[in-house]
Every structure is written in C-alpha cells, then in structure tokens.
C-alpha cells in the first residue's frame, strides 16, 4: 500500500513539473515563429508537406542569409491534429515564447482560425490564413489582425465558375447546367456555399451542395447520388483523406475525372497518387503557384538539404503543398522584413509585424530576387484589402505531374465585395468593433 | 423504369458495402462470443494488419520479389504481427483483468486501441499506402433493361465473395474442429470450461488471433478500397450498428446486420438525404440500430439475454 | 496521528450527517477553496510563478474546471446510475447551442399560423442555465430507451444521439444564426453587470459554477435519489422488486446528468473557446469524458476532478517533456508516443485499480487514519 501512495506522489509530481515547466527559452536576438502543424490524423497527408515547406524556408533564411537582417528565426512546431481545442492550446503555449512573442500564427485550419480570431486580436498577433480562413476577413478595417492572403474561398468559388464557363464556351452557356459541390462538412467546406449560391442565381446554373462527414472516407452514397443526378461539373472542397477518396469513388462510379475541379486545397500529389491511373484528368485550382522547382528550391537544396537540415525527403521538394508552405513562410518573412524597416532591425512584436503585413508590397522584381519568379504574381496588401491578390490558374493531373492548363483568372471583385462588406459588418456589430478608417492608415 | 433502375443501383451498392462492414464486425463478434469482451480495438487491429501487409508488400516488391511471392509473404508477415499482438493483449491486458466487469474490460480495449494505433503508426509510418490487390472499377449490368445500366463495383463483389468464404470457413472452424468446440464451450461458461480442463488463456489467445486474421482480411479489402491509412480505424464506429442489429454473438447475424445497415443507410442518404440536407448516413445507421434494439434488445440473431438476480 | 477522529463528538443530527464529518477534511477543503478562490487569482494578478504567463490559467485550469464539471455530470449517469453513455459530447453541444440561441435572441416564425415566437436575448447566466435545462429535456428523451436496453447496447443507443446532434447542428442553419460557415461566436459574457473578459475573471466564473454544482451534486447523491440510482446500478431487477421505480430513477439520472453536462458545454463554448463549431463536441469529446470518469473513479465526485486533471494534463505533459529536455523529437513521433503512453497508462490503471483514482485516494485516507501504525 505504501507503493500506491508513493506511486501516486511520483505521478502527481511528474504532472505538476511538466505543467509548470513553461519557462521561455531566452534567446535575445531571435524572432520566434511558431508552426502549428498536423503530422498525425486524417489530415496529416496534406498537413505534413506544408509544414515541411515552411520549416525548410525558415531554415533557408537562417542558413543562407543569417536571419532577417541579422535577426535569426527561432521556430517551434506544435501538433494540432486539425482539432480546434488542441490548436487553441498550442496557440496559448507558444504565443509568448521568444524575446518578443510570436511574430504571426498560421493555423492551416479554418476551424482553428475561427476559434483564434478574437484571441489573436486581443493578443495583437497577426493570423495569416493564406488561401483559407474567414472569407470576410478580407476587410482589414474590421479584421485588423486576419490576413487571408492570396485568395479566400469566395474568390476560389468565383474563379472555379469562371473556368467552367471558359470550358463551356462562355458565361451564357452556364444557364441550365448542373454544378455540384462535394464539400467537407465543416466551416472550411461550407464557406464557399453563399458565394456559389450568388453565382448560381446570377448565371442560372443549378447548384447542389453535397456534404461529406468528417473525416471523409465514406463517400459511396454521395457518389451514387452524383451518378443519379448527373451534374455537369463537380467541385471538390475536401481536405486530407477526403480528397483521395473522392477521386477513387468517382472512378468507382465512372464519373469523368476531367469534370471534377478541386479547390486549391484539393489538388496535391497525396490526393491523386492513391488512385493511381484513375486520377488522370482531375483538375484543381492553383493558389497562384503549382508544383515544380524554381530558383528558391535550388537555394533550399544547396543551403538546407546539403547540410542535412531538410525536413523531408529531397524527392518531395517541389510538390504542390510543399511549395505552398514555402510561399506562406516567405510572405511572413517579408512582412517581418518590411516591419523592420520601420521599427528597427531587432526582434519585433506581433503588432509591429502586423504593420509589416498590411504594408507588404511584393513586385515582380522583388519576387524574382527572392527566387519566386514564375510561382507568384505581384502582391499588394492594404488596410482595406487583406487578401492582397486574387489570381489563380487551373492545373490538371496527367498521371505523373501537374500541368497548368489555363491562363490567369482574377476573381470578380465587384461581385464578391458586397458579400464581404455585409458579413464583416455583421461581425463588427456583433463584436462591437469599430471599423478602422482605411483612408487614414499610414 | 429509370427510377427502378436507380433504386436497384443504390440497393445493390448498399448491400455490397454492408457486406464490407460486416467483415469488420466479424472480428467483434468472434471476441465477444468467446470471451464476453467488447473489443473496441478491432478497428485499430485492422489498421495494424493493413500497415504490416502493405509495408511488407512494398518492401518485397522493391527488392525484386515477384508479385505472388510478395503477397504470400506479406500476408504471412501480417498474420505473424497479429499473432504477436494477440499474445501481448492476452498476456498484458485481458489476462490480468479476467474477472472484472464488462465496462472495465471495454475500457481496457480502448486503452489497447490507443497503444496499437500509436505503435502501428510509429513502426510502419502514418502515410496513406495504396493497396492494389483487386480491381476497383465498375461493371454496368443489365444495360438493355435500364438505360445506363446498373452500376456494380468489382471490388464490392470481391469483398462479398471473400466475406462469404470467411463466414463459411469460420462456421466449419467452430463446428467441426476441436479448438472451435473449445471456443464455444468457453463462450458458454468460463468456469465450467475451465473445470473441464480447457486452458482458458490459450483459448483466448486463439480467439484474439483469429480475430486478428479476420482483421487482416478486412484490411485487405478495405485497404484496396480506401488505401491503408489511419482513418480506417473509424470503420469500427460504422461496424457498431451492424453488430447491434445482427446481435453481438452471432456470426451470420453480422452479415445480416451488415446487409441491413448498408442498404438502409445508402437508400436513406440518396433518396431521403437531399430533402433534409444530406449527410445523414452516420446517424441513420445508429437510429436504425436503436429501433431494432427497442423491439429486440438482443439484436435480430443474438442470444436472448437472461438476467438472474 | 494527523487524521484522528478521536475527540470529534457529534452532538446534533446535522453534524452527524455532514458531508465532511471529520474536521481535518473540512480544514483541507477550506484550504483548497481558499487557494482556488483567493490564492490563484492573487498569484495570477501579480504574475508570480507558476502564473507568470497566462498559459496555466487559460490552457490548463480553465479547461480542467469545465471538463471536471462535465465529468461530474457523466459520473452521475455512468458511475452512480450505471447507464453507460457515449453521448455526453452531444449534450454538451445541446447546452452550448441552446445557450447561444437564447443569448442572441430566439425568433421562430410560424408563418402558416401567422405569428412568431420572439424572445429577446437573455442574460448570459439565464441562457446557460436554460441551455442546461434544454439538454436535460433531450437527455430524458434519449434516456427512454434505457428502460429496455442495458449495458453496452445502451452505449450504442447513446451514440445515435451523438451522431444525430453532430449532424443537426451542422445542417440546420437556424442553430448557428445562419452563419455562412457554421461557426459561431459567443455573446459577450455579462454577469450581473460585470463583463467577464480576462483569464482570471473567466477562471473565477467557472470555479463558481463548478463549486456550486459540485456541492449540490454531492448532496444529491447522498440522498434518496442518489441511493435509488445506486440501487439501479447494482441490481436493477432487485431494485424494482423492492419498490424503486426504474422509470423515475433512470430518467432523473439522465435529466440531472444532462443538465450538468449541458451547463458544462455552454461554459466550454462561451468561456473557453469563444468561437466554436460542431466538431468541438464530437465523439472524441464523449470518449474523453468517459475516460475521465472511469480513470477518476466511478461513483465519486472527487474522482471526476482527479480524472479530468489526469486526462487533460497527461497529453500536454507528454508534449512538454521532450521540448523541455531539449530532445529533438518530431511532433509526429511525440503524438504517437502520446498515444502509446496514454493507452498503457489506462490499461495499467485499470489493472491495478479498476475503481479508479478515487479508490486509491480513499485507501490512502484509510491508511492515513491509522498512520503511523500499520493496522
């Protein structure tokens, strides 16, 4: 019985000691950047390459440039498993680490974004939701700390319809057609629905949303329904294993893969390789960049992988989601660099990095300097426009690689903006936020 | 005619996928029948079996083994892993908890689930591993009668054939072999079986081994369908209504329950779903199970639960 | 020596029937409450270790309190009344969404009847409590099958509730006030004119709820109703034979349990998360609550607290140890190790003491009463 008491004491001591060991690692001239990632669970197939890309880019900045103007980057990963409460816990644990706290947060999950929006605004840490997150957070006057860079889901929905119209031969040909949305039953999947309903009303096509319950491995009945409904196009808004399953099930009911268009989160190698040859013809949107190696990859290979500090196998460099991780990291780093112009070359607080983000302006020349020529178009973020750019292309899988099959599309701002103002105004009223006056911002 | 064709298609698709669910449910039934333990870890066992098989297969094929040899060796390796797991579980989890109540045993299998999931992913990796052992495309039958034909998926048909063979094999095993008889004796009454001289711990090891082999078969079929990945463990949740409807102690009940659940949920999703927004598959199966329970608390084919004070 | 009852004579019935008859217990409880209500906020306000950052309050104590409350509710159903329930997550969701709707104003138009029911936004405290009542109502509904179904079969029936409500809150936009993404924000927390905003205030709010409800529950389970529940748990047929009405006992167990779990759900959503989606209350949450109750001890209020602390802190601790020791382990391996260690701990605890930590603690107390003598 003494054993029990002793064991209890040991267990209690272990628990307590673990909990209170949160002393921050004090490194003085370093900028702390947390990486919220998920390398386990149903979404890990897509989350892992993204996190690898980001980690490699931060490493590159440290190894090649010695940091941002001499301020090295301190990076720490935290596993969220795509769960909201774990994401919140990771955020709380990492937000004050480093000399000045976290520079910015990348949750890579729309659900976690919703949970953190208020907290990040209160803690003054910018939350970068590149290509995902709240579509209404484009309005920087209300959402000072949210940055849905490069595209929101409403832009994505509009561009997908533009591409379909192009394939059919014109917007007038959309009338009477049937377009289904196979979506992940979560805030991520539901976000495009209002935009698609607006578009359906405007162009006269029949829009059918079809939900898939998390985690998305059961899709047989959805595809049987699609086979009966015979839509002309199916938009896939999935994540993780739902994507691969969608393509497989489409093959199992013989739905033509080239009539499936995935959003930019449903178009990566882990989604198409499980289905093998059956995935040939599947299309997806591109969040500006696609797969492939560009000058920045050569640098990553030279400065990071050659020294054995890479996060993944060298064969995976250049995949779609890996590139997305690099782009995301680059935008964050450039924001810090911009903020250092105003606040000095030292570790910065989240509030200062926010200013850097809001004034970020990457031209073609600068993108070429950074090694991203061919991957991205110029980006200009402002107080009123936290999206920065809303261009995309469409790519198609040919069995071995992704091929770009379209020109650049730009989302139809006049159509999207009324929805953005409506929903963000409602949020501002709910939360009693006084929208900033963007004309007065410096 | 079109409507009838569509209905038949969904019905056949549902029945087929139901058979695939019952492959997973069979493992539950085996263990519950022989030891009264509700094994929540069955889903994790399917994952472990699948990962062992697919990684062995990939390794052997990469080293130049011919396809057939690789498959045989891969299955052998998977079976060996499941045997080890069975031994470990019997020795360290179920054995020490021999006389505890059902809830404690159930919770210990949940603990085992975590251990198996974590260990499997740590040893074999946590990617999605495709398995290409059966064709997965579709047949279109009766094209003359119904425009467009009725869709029947080849993998589903293979799954049905395998499930039928498995059930037949298990029936023979239980009826006509010595070990099978011993298992039925233990299921009936542990103490009586022990007093007659049947070694309980060895019997339970055999039960968990057979359940592990059933999990391997389920992993082969489901792995071809979905790819071997972590989410396969969610199949255990889909198998529960199958078990309830069929009865926790009946092997043919597992098949019957599977057919009912599969057909029911697919028909509900395709025909009832759109009017209420879709996505009703999961809870429909459970509500169906609930309805059956209210009428027959032991399931359709289960043994009547007799309670004594 | 320290824990002697010698000299503590009871002179009234009230003293005899007290919840904590031994003076040392009362002192210990007073000290604990003192630390919880006064000590922690003081330390946190002045940022004294271990409250130098908000992390301990926000990410550990706050979820601990709310989940302990939910565990108390689950314990009533599973531990005291013996009805296995895997639907606790759904009841938390019902409490959260009902409180949300009441807090933001309910408007049900009966178009065909020509009028509409319109309730203005209610104060947060009232919304939370009525949210709990809504959960209790639904609990009674889903408890009706328990009259016919028992044991693990009932667990599956409660899973039906879990998945149904998962779907309901995702699909019916009325519950989320027609938000395009289905994610909702909690209304502002105004209690009696005070705005609850900082972590310390949230912590005190949850602590008050937990303390009051735990006290009420402790008395409830010691009384007639609690004894009926325990009789049903031990041998329900015998209980029925001696005159305990199973309908009344089981349904009240469901009702009280769901009320507490619903209030916990509303607190989880409003106070801890602030903005949530239906996946926050999925089956993982239900399983987590069941673990807490079983590891902590079935049929024990204190066990609910211990179980909640254990289940909450072990994953976090397993995450922190490698980083603090400086061992470079990938987050993936850490998560896998977490799974393995967590599962092994559950199995180990179940083998060593199937009745959970509460039993270990009560054995400890008994030994303490004799200490330093061995017997």
| Spacing of C-alpha A204 from chain mean position | 31
Give the mean pLDDT of B65-81: 89
pLDDT in tens, A6-50: 555 555 555 555 444 444 444 578 899 999 999 888 888 899 999
Pick from C55, C63, C279: CB nearest A214 = C279
* B219-258 residues touching A, CB cutoff 8 A: 225-227, 229-232, 234, 238
Q: Enumerate the H helices of C189-282 as residue ranges.
A: 199-222, 224-234, 236-241, 246-267
Q: With an 8 Å Cβ cutoff, are C340 and B119 in contact?
A: yes
Task: Name all chains with 3 or more CB-CB pairs below 8 Å to chain B.
Answer: A, C
Distance CA B107, CA A183 (A): 35
pLDDT for residue C342:
85
pLDDT in tens, C51-76: 877 788 888 899 999 999 999 999 99
Indicate whether B65 belongs to any domain. Answer: yes
pLDDT for residue A124:
92
Neighbours of A414 (CB within 10 A): 6
Q: With an 8 Å Cβ cutoff, are C167 and B280 in contact?
A: yes
pLDDT for residue C139:
93
Tokens standing for residue C218:
């402790």
- Closest-CA distance, A14 to chain C, in angstroms, reads 8
Distance CA C90, CA C280 (A): 10
Distance CA C90, CA C70 (A): 12
What is the total count of domains within chain C? 1
Tokens standing for residue B246:
């069929």
pLDDT bracket for residue B181 (50, 70, 90): confident
- Closest-CA distance, A311 to chain C, in angstroms, reads 10
Task: Name all chains with 3 or more CB-CB pairs below 8 Å to chain C.
Answer: A, B
Indicate whether B298 belongs to any domain. Answer: no
User: Is the distance from CB of B272 to CB of B218 less than 8 angstroms?
Assistant: no
Percentage with pLDDT > 90 across chain B: 20
Q: With an 8 Å Cβ cutoff, are A8 and C360 in contact?
A: yes
Indicate whether C117 belongs to any domain. Answer: yes
CA dihedral B161, B165, B171, B176 (to 10 degrees): 160
Indicate whether B171 belongs to any domain. Answer: yes
Query: Is A211 a residue whose pLDDT tops 60?
Result: yes
**If DSSP codes are grouped into helix, strand and coil, which group holds residue B211?**
helix
Domain of C135?
Answer: 53-370
Distance CA A300, CA C147 (A): 65
Give the mean pLDDT of C230-254: 92
pLDDT for residue A35:
93
Give the mean pLDDT of A68-83: 90
Neighbours of C367 (CB within 10 A): 17
Q: With an 8 Å Cβ cutoff, are B122 and C336 in contact?
A: yes
Q: Could you tell me how many CB contacts below 8 A there are between chain A and chain B?
A: 101
Place of tokens 């994505």: A156
pLDDT for residue A18:
46
Indicate whether C39 belongs to any domain. Answer: no
**Residue A266, CA distances (Å) to A233, A241, A283, C181 in order:** 15, 10, 9, 18
User: Is the distance from CB of C311 to CB of C338 less than 8 angstroms?
Assistant: no
Tokens standing for residue A344:
């000095």
Q: What angle do CA C297, C304, C203 make, to 5 degrees?
A: 165
Distance CA A419, CA A194 (A): 9
Per the prediction, chain C carries an average pLDDT of 88
Distance CA C87, CA B286 (A): 12
pLDDT for residue A352:
92
Chain C interface mutation, best of B31, B241, B283, B305, highest count of C Cβ atoms under 10 Å: B283
pLDDT for residue B308:
66
pLDDT bracket for residue B104 (50, 70, 90): confident
pLDDT for residue A16:
52
Percentage with pLDDT > 70 across chain B: 98
Pick from C58, C181, C274: CB nearest A191 = C181
Pick from A20, A89, A187: CB nearest C59 = A89
Domain of B114?
Answer: 2-230
User: Is the distance from CB of A36 to CB of A276 less than 8 angstroms?
Assistant: no
- Which has more pLDDT, A139 or C318? A139
Determine which of A411-415, B99-103, C44-48, C91-95 has the lowest per-residue pLDDT on average: B99-103
Give the mean pLDDT of B288-308: 81
Chain A interface mutation, best of C48, C57, C66, C183, highest count of A Cβ atoms under 10 Å: C183
Indicate whether B96 belongs to any domain. Answer: yes
Give the mean pLDDT of C226-247: 92
- Closest-CA distance, B287 to chain A, in angstroms, reads 17
B108 contact C CB<8A: yes
Give the mean pLDDT of B237-252: 87
Per the prediction, chain B carries an average pLDDT of 86
Q: In sequence order, what E strands does A13-145 have?
A: 30-37, 72-79, 127-128
Q: ω into residue C372 within 30 of 0, thus cis?
A: yes
User: Is the distance from CB of C76 to CB of C229 less than 8 angstroms?
Assistant: yes
Nearest alpha carbon to residue A92 among C41, C273, C277, C278: C273
Closest-CA residue of C relative to A116 is C275
Query: Chain A residues with CB-CB distance to B under 8 A?
Result: 39-42, 44-45, 185, 208-213, 215-218, 220-222, 224-225, 227-228, 241, 244-245, 248, 251-254, 270, 273-276, 278
Give the mean pLDDT of C273-296: 88
- Closest-CA distance, C179 to chain A, in angstroms, reads 9
Q: With an 8 Å Cβ cutoff, are C54 and A84 in contact?
A: no
pLDDT for residue B2:
65
Nearest alpha carbon to residue A183 among A130, A224, A239: A239
Pick from B13, B121, B230: CB nearest A224 = B13
Residues of chain C contacting B286 with CB distance shorter than 8 Å: 156-157, 159-160, 163-164
pLDDT bracket for residue A361 (50, 70, 90): very high
pLDDT bracket for residue A216 (50, 70, 90): confident
Angle at which helix C151-171 crosses helix C283-296, to 10 degrees, equals: 140
Query: Is A280 a residue whose pLDDT tops 70?
Result: yes
Which of A258-272, A306-320, C10-24, C332-346 has maximum average pLDDT? A258-272
Q: Could you tell me how many CB contacts below 8 A there are between chain B and chain C?
A: 131
Domains, chain A, ranges and CATH? Answer: 30-151+291-390+420-436 (3.40.50.2300), 153-286 (3.40.50.2300)
Q: With an 8 Å Cβ cutoff, are A211 and B279 in contact?
A: yes
Closest-CA residue of A relative to C361 is A5
What is the total count of domains within chain B? 1
What residues contact residue A66 under an 8 Å CB cut-off, 6+ apart?
A72
C116: part of which helix (H) or strand (E)? strand C115-119
Give the mean pLDDT of A402-424: 90
- pTM of the entire structure? 0.89
User: In the beta sheet, which residues pair with residue C332?
Assistant: none
C172 contact B CB<8A: yes
Distance CA A388, CA A288 (A): 12
B139 contact C CB<8A: no
- Closest-CA distance, A79 to chain C, in angstroms, reads 6
Give the mean pLDDT of C85-90: 92
Nearest alpha carbon to residue A56 among A80, A30, A35, A41: A35
pLDDT for residue A311:
85
Query: Is B309 a residue whose pLDDT tops 70?
Result: no
Indicate whether C124 belongs to any domain. Answer: yes
pLDDT for residue C215:
94
User: Is the distance from CB of A361 to CB of A329 less than 8 angstroms?
Assistant: no
pLDDT for residue A1:
44
Q: Which residues of C306-343 are buried (b: 16+ CB within 10 A; e: fewer)?
A: bbbbbbbbbbbbbbbbbbeeeeeeebbebbbbbbbbbb
- Which has more pLDDT, C214 or B130? C214
Angle at which helix C151-171 crosses helix B281-295, to 10 degrees, equals: 140
pLDDT bracket for residue B81 (50, 70, 90): very high
- Closest-CA distance, B164 to chain A, in angstroms, reads 22
Termini Cα distance of chain C: 13
Indicate whether B216 belongs to any domain. Answer: yes
Angle at which helix A193-203 crosses helix A153-168, to 10 degrees, equals: 30
- Closest-CA distance, B168 to chain A, in angstroms, reads 27
């Amino acid at each position: 019985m003494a054993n029990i008491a002793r064991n209890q004491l040991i267990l209690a001591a272990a628990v307590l000691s673990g909990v209170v060991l949160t002393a921050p690692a004090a490194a003085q001239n370093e900028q702390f950047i947390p990486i919220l990632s998920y390398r386990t669970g149903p979404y890990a197939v897509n989350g892992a390459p993204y996190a690898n890309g980001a980690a490699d880019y931060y490493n590159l900045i440290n190894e090649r440039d010695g940091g941002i103007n001499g301020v090295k980057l301190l990076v720490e990963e935290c596993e969220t498993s795509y769960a909201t409460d774990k994401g919140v816990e990771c955020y709380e644990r990492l937000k004050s680490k480093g000399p000045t706290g976290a520079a910015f947060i990348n949750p890579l999950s729309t659900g976690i974004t919703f949970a953190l929006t208020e907290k990040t605004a209160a803690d003054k840490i910018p939350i970068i939701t590149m290509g995902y997150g709240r579509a209404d957070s484009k309005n920087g006057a209300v959402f000072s700390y949210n940055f849905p860079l490069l595209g929101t889901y409403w832009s994505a929905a509009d561009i997908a319809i533009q591409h379909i119209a192009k394939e059919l031969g014109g917007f007038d040909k959309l009338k009477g057609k049937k377009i289904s949305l196979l979506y992940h039953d979560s805030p991520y999947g539901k976000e495009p629905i209002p935009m698609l309903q607006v578009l359906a009303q405007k162009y006269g096509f029949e829009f059918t949303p079809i939900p898939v319950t998390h985690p998305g491995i059961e899709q047989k009945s959805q595809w049987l329904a699609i086979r009966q409904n015979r839509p002309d196009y199916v938009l896939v808004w999935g994540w993780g294993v739902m994507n691969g399953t969608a393509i497989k099930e489409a093959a199992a009911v013989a739905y033509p893969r080239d009539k499936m268009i995935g959003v930019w989160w449903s178009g990566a190698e882990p989604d198409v390789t499980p289905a093998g040859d059956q995935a040939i013809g599947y299309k997806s949107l591109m969040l500006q960049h696609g797969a492939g190696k560009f000058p920045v990859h050569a640098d990553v290979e030279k400065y990071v992988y050659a020294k054995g500090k890479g996060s993944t196998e060298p064969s995976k460099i250049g995949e779609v989601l890996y590139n997305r991780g690099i782009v995301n990291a680059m935008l964050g780093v450039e924001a810090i660099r911009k903020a250092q112009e105003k606040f000095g070359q030292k570790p910065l607080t989240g509030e200062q990095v926010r200013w850097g983000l809001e004034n970020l302006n990457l031209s073609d020349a600068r993108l070429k300097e950074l090694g991203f020529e061919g991957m991205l178009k110029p980006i200009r973020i402002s107080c009123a426009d936290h999206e920065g750019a809303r261009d995309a292309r469409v790519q198609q899988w040919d069995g071995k690689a992704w091929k770009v099959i379209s020109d650049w599309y730009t989302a139809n701002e006049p159509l999207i903006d009324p929805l953005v103002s409506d929903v963000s105004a409602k949020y501002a009223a709910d939360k009693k936020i006084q929208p900033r006056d963007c004309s007065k911002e410096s | 005619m079109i409507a009838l064709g569509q209905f038949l298609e969904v019905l056949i698709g549902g029945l087929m996928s139901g058979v695939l669910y019952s492959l997973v449910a069979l493992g539950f039934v085996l263990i519950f029948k022989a030891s009264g333990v509700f094994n929540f870890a069955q889903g994790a066992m399917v994952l472990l079996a699948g990962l062992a098989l697919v990684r062995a297969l990939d390794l052997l094929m990469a080293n130049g083994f011919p396809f057939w040899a690789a498959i045989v060796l891969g299955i052998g390796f998977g079976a060996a892993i499941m045997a080890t797991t069975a031994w470990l579980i019997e020795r360290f989890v179920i054995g020490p908890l021999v006389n505890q109540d059902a809830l404690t045993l159930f919770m210990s299998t949940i603990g085992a689930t975590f251990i198996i999931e974590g260990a499997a992913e740590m040893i074999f990796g946590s990617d999605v591993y495709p398995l290409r052992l059966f064709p997965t495309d579709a047949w279109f039958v009766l094209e003359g009668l119904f425009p467009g034909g009725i869709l029947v998926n080849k993998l589903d048909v293979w799954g049905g054939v395998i499930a039928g063979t498995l059930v037949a094999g298990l029936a023979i095993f239980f009826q006509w072999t010595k070990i099978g008889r011993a298992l039925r004796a233990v299921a009936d009454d542990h103490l009586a079986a022990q007093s007659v001289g049947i070694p309980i711990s060895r019997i339970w090891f055999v039960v968990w081994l057979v359940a592990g082999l059933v999990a391997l078969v389920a992993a082969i079929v489901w792995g071809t369908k979905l790819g071997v990945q972590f989410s396969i463990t969610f199949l255990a949740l889909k198998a529960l209504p199958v078990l309830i409807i069929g009865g926790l102690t009946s092997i043919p009940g597992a098949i019957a329950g599977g057919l009912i659940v599969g057909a029911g949920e697919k028909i509900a999703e395709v025909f009832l779903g759109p009017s209420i927004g879709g996505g009703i598959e999961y809870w429909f199966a459970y509500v169906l199970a609930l309805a059956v329970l209210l009428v027959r608390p032991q399931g359709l084919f289960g043994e009547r639960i007799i309670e004594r004070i | 020596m320290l824990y002697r009852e010698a000299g503590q004579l009871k002179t009234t019935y009230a003293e005899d029937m007290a919840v904590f008859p031994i003076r040392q217990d009362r002192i210990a409880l007073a000290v604990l409450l003192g630390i919880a209500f006064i000590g922690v906020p003081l330390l946190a306000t002045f940022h004294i270790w271990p409250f130098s950052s908000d992390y301990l309050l926000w990410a550990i104590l706050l979820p601990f309190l709310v989940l302990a409350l939910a565990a108390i509710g689950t314990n009533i159903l599973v531990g005291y009344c013996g009805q296995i329930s895997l639907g606790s997550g759904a009841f938390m969701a019902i409490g959260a969404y009902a409180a949300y709707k009441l807090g933001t104003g309910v408007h049900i138009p009966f178009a065909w009847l020509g009028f509409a029911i319109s309730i203005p936004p209610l104060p947060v405290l009232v919304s939370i409590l009525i949210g709990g009542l809504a959960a209790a109502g639904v609990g009674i509904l889903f408890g009706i099958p328990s009259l016919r179904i028992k044991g693990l079969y009932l667990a599956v029936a409660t899973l039906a509730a879990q998945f149904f409500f998962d779907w309901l809150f995702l699909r019916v936009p009325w519950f989320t006030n027609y938000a395009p993404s289905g994610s909702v924000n909690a209304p502002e927390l105004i209690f009696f004119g005070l705005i609850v905003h900082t972590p310390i205030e949230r912590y005190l709010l949850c602590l008050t709820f937990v303390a009051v409800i735990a006290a009420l529950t402790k008395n409830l389970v010691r009384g007639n109703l609690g004894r009926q529940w325990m009789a049903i748990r031990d041998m329900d047929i015998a209980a029925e034979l001696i005159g305990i009405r199973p309908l009344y006992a089981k349904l009240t167990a469901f009702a009280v349990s769901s009320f507490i779990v619903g209030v916990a759900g509303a607190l989880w959503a409003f106070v801890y998360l602030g903005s949530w989606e239906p996946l926050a209350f999925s089956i993982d949450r239900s399983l987590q609550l069941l673990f807490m109750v079983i590891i902590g001890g079935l049929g024990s209020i204190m066990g609910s607290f211990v179980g909640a602390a254990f289940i909450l802190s072990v994953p976090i601790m397993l995450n922190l140890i490698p980083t603090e020791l400086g061992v470079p382990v990938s987050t993936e391996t850490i998560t896998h190790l977490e799974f393995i260690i967590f599962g092994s701990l559950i199995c180990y605890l179940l083998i060593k003491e199937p009745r959970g930590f509460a039993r270990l603690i009560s054995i400890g107390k008994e030994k303490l009463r004799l200490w330093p003598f061995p017997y």
